[in-house]
Chains A and B, each alone.
Chain A
């Protein structure tokens, strides 16, 4: 599958992330005569172990993250960050996890927006909100470089695309999310597991930013 690069909006000192920022991003993409296609949504959820007696120890991962994509509705991806593991499963696995009640959903972040086609690039722009109250946590851009499946081979083209795209933008900038995929035994050949890791990492980043 084509490589997807993920960028998050970093406002200049003194500026705030707001819904207006996203509107400006949409306008800027429109001004490049990109073709607006579909809406997209990605759901990233954080789960904690369901411990019967808090006073007693429990031998399990402290955090489980799950991601689903509207683009791949029959799949769910799980990430264990501490254990460096990404696991792909059929969507039914979510129902199994709910029946087992071993992990409880703590919070969910929705990434949603519009998708655009721009030559060799497919761009998704959107917001990250905490469900269900829709509290804005961040603005993101996903840039998919259609001809290439290798992360390294796509790096120069995607970064150059973003550099050109951001020329003249003054209130902040889109920063690439750089991850060490090899820590999670993911190769340079891009797949959905990479995407899952990117989105849960971004969710964790947005949540940690809010705390600080």
Chain B
């Protein structure tokens, strides 16, 4: 399972967010360029209709394919109180014929996206070991099938920021706590909330961004 929060940031503040994340995470910035294909079962197939995502990473010399299945979010009064969404997720690497394979199994193309941007890893050991992935991506839709070169932004001028961390039924509340704490570090630039609960943009983000970029500039010179 995974814990997730997300938010949006204006494109003009993405550089500042990168500076902030570089400072917080310390590790390497990884480029993200993922062709995401959402597939749904055709009629009359499966115990219930299902959905699966194929993720093709385009940052390596050869495309790298993964299959991702996301289950329904944890529900109930306890889950409502949590500041992050908790949901079951399974992911698996798969060969290059993934799309042809899923078509053969009766899946049909629903929609496809191109996500491009960057990500950082944040590792916390106290109170438990948590690996938080922060991804900052522009989400583009493809007007025609598989036409990555013609991708157009879904929300021009806005980037999606997602914080995700793997969790288990035993530790998800601590992981949610860790994500929530990390989200506070980003509060000067963006609000993060559960997917589907829009928290808006930070009105004072410009001031925070200006301060971060100037400090980031000094760091780079040093």
Contact = CB atoms under 8 A, between A and B. Distances in A.
B94 A102 contact: no
B95 A87 contact: yes
Contacts of A80: 101, 104
A53 interface: yes
A92 interface: yes
A101 B43 contact: no
B69 A100 contact: yes
Interface of B is mostly: mixed
B69 to A, nearest CB: 5
A102 B67 CA distance: 15
Contact of A96 (B92, B101, B106, B107): B92
B: interface residue count bin: 20 to 34
Contact of B97 (A53, A64, A85, A101): A85
B150 to A, nearest CB: 29
State the majority secondary structure of interface residues on A.
mixed
A93 B65 CA distance: 12
A57 B67 CA distance: 27
B104 A61 contact: yes
A90 interface: yes
Given A58-B45, A87-B98, A92 B105 contact: no
Contact of B104 (A52, A60, A90, A100): A60
A50 B46 contact: yes
Quick one: which of B45, B52, B101 has the most chain A CB within 10 A? B45
Contacts of B71: 99
A150 B192 CA distance: 55
B145 interface: no
Interface residues of A, number: 30
A85 B101 contact: yes
Interface string B89-100: 011111101101
A59 B45 CA distance: 8
B69 A96 contact: yes
A78 B101 CA distance: 9
B64 to A, nearest CB: 12
Interface string B32-69: 00000000011111111010100000000000000101
A83 B104 contact: yes
A91 B93 CA distance: 9
A90 B105 contact: no
A42 B107 CA distance: 28
Contacts of B43: 56, 58-59
B47 A58 contact: no
A102 B41 contact: yes
Given A85-B101, A100-B69, A102-B106, A52 B47 contact: yes
B50 A102 contact: yes
A176 interface: no
Contact of A51 (B44, B90, B95): B44
A88 B104 contact: no
B90 A102 contact: no
Contacts of A100: 41, 46, 50, 52, 69
Contact of B94 (A49, A61, A85, A90): A90
14 contacts: A49-B106, A50-B47, A52-B45, A52-B46, A58-B42, A58-B43, A58-B106, A59-B42, A61-B106, A85-B101, A87-B94, A88-B95, A99-B71, A100-B41
Given A92-B91, A100-B50, 19 more contacts: A49-B106, A51-B44, A58-B43, A60-B104, A60-B105, A78-B101, A80-B101, A85-B104, A88-B94, A89-B94, A90-B94, A93-B92, A93-B94, A95-B90, A96-B90, A99-B69, A101-B47, A102-B50, A102-B107
Interface of A: 49-53, 56-61, 64, 78, 80, 83, 85, 87-93, 95-96, 99-103
